[in-house]
């Protein structure tokens, strides 16, 4: 009986830890996306205040390639849209993982409680 | 993500610290410690960014229309230089982020760095303010934990 319970606790603990790891991964990618979005916003603001005939270059590896200003603006907006979508996606993942973690935590607490009770019973019988 | 603040804010629950048990308080303290660490790191990187902008702005002071045609040494690698001549000294190309570069004249470039330095300084002030607030909460938590421990010893 108690071995069975221990096995259950172990497996529950394992899945709890996996969820925790997944959650941490999701959070760090969310932070990275946030940083990228901020950087893009700053670049967009900078492009907005440039005069219309300003020369803009894009670095591709070691070379700078001349781009049209409107093209650069378009590109940055597109990237911002994409990043915002990604942020929404990761946010959903995070909420789901948090819920999953709570479920595991509760189950774990229940099992631990059962385990303690079993131990008390065993002690009484001995 | 969970937020901790000393001032009341919407969507936040007010919690009387003295009603929490020691375990909860230590979790809270851990969280605050983590946040404070993050603030320190952010401050350090902002300081670095600020220095970089300042240096770039200062180098611009050295470039004027009169420097046209002057000799310079161009670094090809960190340890190898080739001689060159300055050309088109009224324009510079500035990295504005996400791999985009914009050509600006000296005045606009100086203005750019001034704005950037101001922006970074503002961010630093914000973080410093938040950090101060959080460390106050942290101190309060430590105090309450000590109080609770004393109470436990007495009883």
Domain borders along chain B are 35-154
CA distance A117 to A109: 12
Instruction: Please calculate the CA angle B106-B108-B112 and round it to the nearest 5 degrees.
Output: 115
ipTM of the complex: 0.75
Q: What is the pLDDT of residue A122?
A: 86
Facing B98 at nearest CB: one of A40, A60, A67 = A40
Question: What is the crossing angle of helices B22-62 and B106-154, to 10°?
Answer: 160
The pLDDT value given to residue B5: 74
Contact A76 B100 (CB under 8 A): yes
Report the domain count for chain A: 1
What's the mean pLDDT when you consider all of chain A?
A: 93
Long-range CB contacts (within 8 A, 24+) of A17-26 = A19/A97, A19/A100, A19/A101, A19/A104, A20/A101, A22/A97, A23/A94, A23/A97, A23/A98, A23/A101, A26/A90, A26/A93, A26/A94, A26/A97
Alpha helix (H) residue ranges in chain A = 2-48, 69-125
Chain B contact set for A67 (CB, 8 A): 100
Contacts of B103 in chain A (CB under 8 A): 54-57
Q: What is the average per-residue pLDDT within B56-69?
A: 88
Residue bearing the bigger pLDDT, A18 or B17: A18
- Residue ranges making up the domain that contains A56: 2-125
> Which CATH architecture best describes the domain B35-154?
Orthogonal Bundle (1.10)
Structure tokens at B80: 């190898």
**pTM of the complete model beyond 0.90:** no
Whether A76 and B96 lie within 8 Å, measured CB to CB? no
| Mean pLDDT, rounded, for A40-50 | 95
Is A70 at the interface with chain B, CB within 8 A? no
Residue B37 has a CB neighbour count (10 Å cut-off) of 10
Q: In the numeric block, which tokens belong to residue B126?
A: 């914000």
Token reading at B110: 């100086």
**Which CATH number covers residue A32?**
1.10.287.370
């Amino acid at each position: 009986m108690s071995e069975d319970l221990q096995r259950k606790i172990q497996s529950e603990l394992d899945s709890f830890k996996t969820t925790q790891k997944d959650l941490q991964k999701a959070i760090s990618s969310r932070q990275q996306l946030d940083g990228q979005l901020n950087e893009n916003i700053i670049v967009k603001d900078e492009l907005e205040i440039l005069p219309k005939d300003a020369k803009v270059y894009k670095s591709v590896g070691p070379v700078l390639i001349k781009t049209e200003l409107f093209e650069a603006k378009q590109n940055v907006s597109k990237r911002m849209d994409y990043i915002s979508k990604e942020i929404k996606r990761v946010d959903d993942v995070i909420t789901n993982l948090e819920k999953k973690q709570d479920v595991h935590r509760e189950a774990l607490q229940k099992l631990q409680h059962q385990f303690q009770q079993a131990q008390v019973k065993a002690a009484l019988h001995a | 993500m969970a937020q901790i603040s000393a001032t009341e804010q919407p969507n936040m629950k007010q919690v009387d610290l003295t009603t929490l048990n020691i375990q909860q308080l230590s979790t809270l303290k851990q969280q605050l410690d983590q946040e404070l660490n993050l603030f320190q790191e952010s401050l350090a990187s902002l300081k670095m960014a600020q220095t970089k902008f300042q240096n770039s702005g200062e180098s611009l002071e050295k470039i004027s229309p009169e420097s046209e045609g002057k000799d310079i040494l161009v670094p090809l690698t960190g340890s190898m230089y080739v001689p060159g001549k300055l050309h088109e000294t009224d324009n510079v190309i500035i990295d504005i982020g996400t791999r985009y570069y914009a050509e600006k004249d000296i005045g606009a470039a100086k203005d750019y760095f001034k704005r950037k330095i101001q922006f970074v300084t503002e961010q630093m002030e914000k973080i410093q303010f938040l950090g101060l607030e959080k460390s106050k909460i942290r101190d309060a938590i430590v105090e309450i934990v000590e109080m609770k421990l004393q109470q436990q010893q007495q009883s």
